[in-house]
Structure 1
Amino acid sequence: MQQSSIISEKSKIGNNVEIGHFSIIEDNVEIGNNVTIGHHTIISKGTIIEDNVTINDHTLIGKQPMKQQKQQLPSIIGRNTKIGAFVVIYSGAIIGKECFIADQASIRENVSIGNYTTIGRNAAIENNTSIGNKVSIQTNVYITAFSHISDQAFIAPGVITSNDPTAARSKTPIKLKGVNVEYGGRIGAGAVILPGINIRQEGFAAAGSIVTRDVAENIIVAGCPAKKLKSLPANQKLNNILT
């Protein structure tokens, strides 16, 4: 631990922990064993970091939302997870074990991420979203609030999702509707998914699609607006790949 860092006496630090220069560990933080924290990193109060986690430089974990007065629950980072540089993880976010969070990613409050999941560089995961196990969300993806991404889903670079069907033109408050990607669902590079869309089990929206309707199970859609292209080939089905 570097003398330039500030570590609260109320925090609990495990064995073999490395903390870089000018980092701050706030009150009631719990850090497990064999954890590495880079330079200029802030771990906000109450955060729990499990064993064998790596957090790179200039990262902030446990950020409180600026627009909410209510104190959020602490962040939890699961064991063996690696977090890149300039990442912001808000309070109330729960990251599972053996995840990889790339540089400049943003993960908002009340987000849950399962085990073995990848969040790519500069990806943004908005609030009140759940992401399953073994999910790949790649570079520059935007996952809108109130979304659900199930296990084994794949979201290619540059995908944009949305949740406001009125595009901010409603006189009265509306219920925002995020996207729902079921088990093994996939979205190709640069696709746009409109509010409330369901991509059913192993459905696939091809690259560049504008998806205005639900994508059926084991169906590939493409185009603007997206329409059925063909059924999913047998050699792309997960049960033929994972066994």
Structure 2
Amino acid sequence: MFCISDSATIGENVIIGNFVVIEDDVQIGDNCIIGHNVVIHKGTKIGNNVRIDDNTVIGKKPMRSVNSIFKDEKELEAATISDGCLIGAGVIIYCGCKIGKDTLIADLSTVRENVTIGNKTIIGRGVAIENFCSIGNSCKLETNVYITAYSTIEDNAFIAPGVVTSNDNFASRSKERFKHFKGVTVKKGGRIGAQATILPGKIINEDGFVAAGSVVTKDVNSGTIVAGNPAKYFKDVPKEQLLENQ
């Protein structure tokens, strides 16, 4: 039993589970698997060979509290899930998201509106990616990573479990903060160890490495390892570990 709009387009060899809702103008490609209790909101575009597991929501519209820093905006575009993606159980992907080819988004993850994720990237279990973020190709964000709004993660970045990023140096006090919101930037090949914390606006430059448990209060130079609280230079990244040598 399911509810599919007459204006939705379903490709060939698509398997649809029980209690699925597919709204108006949704497009689903060939050879897809849609699990039980999945909701796919209006206009969502899903490519070929995509798997979406049970209890997942695609194309959700954002909610705004009365004191949200994000004000009403123009109508968001529909969500797009490209060919070959694997979307786990209990995932929520908001409208305005674009997910590249062959990307995996694991169980219980949340991807907010206005987020782009590249090709062949892994978003681990319970990861939260806030709005206005860009995640590159071939990245790996492991379990329970938190990517704050207005962040950029470039290609081949690695972010270990439990990493926390932030974008507000005023900690929700003073109207001045509205002028300065800035997430983190992880340049190509940057790596962050488990349970590290990255403060607002900080940049992990190419092949930079943040050691586990560190608190990053300054930008990290290319090809260097930083460690501690506050994080300080420890040593250079070994040459055999640089992205160009992989």
> Does TM, normalized by the shorter one, top 0.5?
yes
User: Is the aligned partner of 1:231 residue 2:228?
Assistant: no
Gaps of 5+ in 2: 65-71
Q: In the alignment, residue 195 of structure 2 is paired with which amino acid?
A: G
Output the TM-score relative to the length of structure 2: 0.95
Aligned counterpart in structure 1 of residue 131 of structure 2, from 96, 102, 127: 127
CA distance in structure 2 between the aligned counterparts of 1:116 and 1:159, rounded to whole angstroms: 21
CA contact (8 A) 1:45 1:62 kept: yes
Amino acid at match of 1:18: I
1:6-34 CA-partner distances (Å, limit 9, x unpaired): 00000000000111000100000000000
Shift of residue 87 of structure 1?
0.1
Match in the other structure for 2:67: none
Number of the residue aligned with 1:153:
157
TM superposition shift of 1:235: 1.2
Matched, 1:33 2:38: no
Deviation at 1:239, TM superposition (A): 1.3
SS of structure 2 residue aligned to 1:235: helix
Shift of 1:71: 2.8
Task: Report the AA paired with residue 126 of structure 2.
Answer: N
| Corresponding position of 2:220 | 215
In the alignment, the residues of structure 2 paired with residue 179 and residue 129 of structure 1 have an alpha-carbon distance, to the nearest angstrom, of 10
Task: Say how many residue pairs are matched.
Answer: 238
For 1:71 and 1:22, the matched residues in 2 are separated by 28
Matching of residue 59 in structure 1 with residue 59 in structure 2: no
Aligned residues of 1:47 and 1:76 also touching (Cα < 8 A):
yes
Q: SS of the counterpart of 2:240?
A: helix
Residues 187-224 of structure 1, C-alpha deviation per residue, up to 9 Å, x if partnerless?
00000000000000000001000000000000000000
Task: Please list, as runs of the form range in 1=range in 2, the aligned pairs for 1:1-243 lying within 5 A after superposition.
Answer: 4-67=1-64, 68=72, 70-172=74-176, 173-241=178-246
Q: Which 4+ residue blocks in structure 1 deviate beyond 6 angstroms?
A: none
Residue 179 of structure 2 aligns to a residue in which SS? coil
**Aligned counterparts of 1:71 and 1:237: Cα–Cα separation in 2:** 42
Which SS does the other structure have where 1:97 is aligned?
coil
Question: Residues of 2 paired with 1:236 and 1:114: CA distance?
Answer: 23
SS at match of 2:226: strand
How far residue 240 of structure 1 moved from its aligned partner, in angstroms, is 1.2
Q: 2:125, 2:229 → 1: CA distance?
A: 27
The Cα of 1:70 is off from its aligned counterpart by 4.2
CA contact (8 A) 1:64 1:71 kept: no
Identity %: 55
- Which stretch shows the higher mean deviation, 73-82 or 232-241? 232-241
What is the Cα deviation at residue 111 of structure 1?
0.1
TM-score of the pair, normalised by structure 1: 0.96
Task: Supply the AA of the counterpart residue of 2:239.
Answer: A
Separation in 2, partners of 1:123, 1:170: 29
Give how far 1:175 is off.
2.9
Cα deviation digits, residues 21-57 of structure 1 (max 9, x gap): 0010000000000000000000000000000000000
Q: Give the letter aligned to residue 27 of structure 1.
A: D
SS of equivalent to 2:107: coil
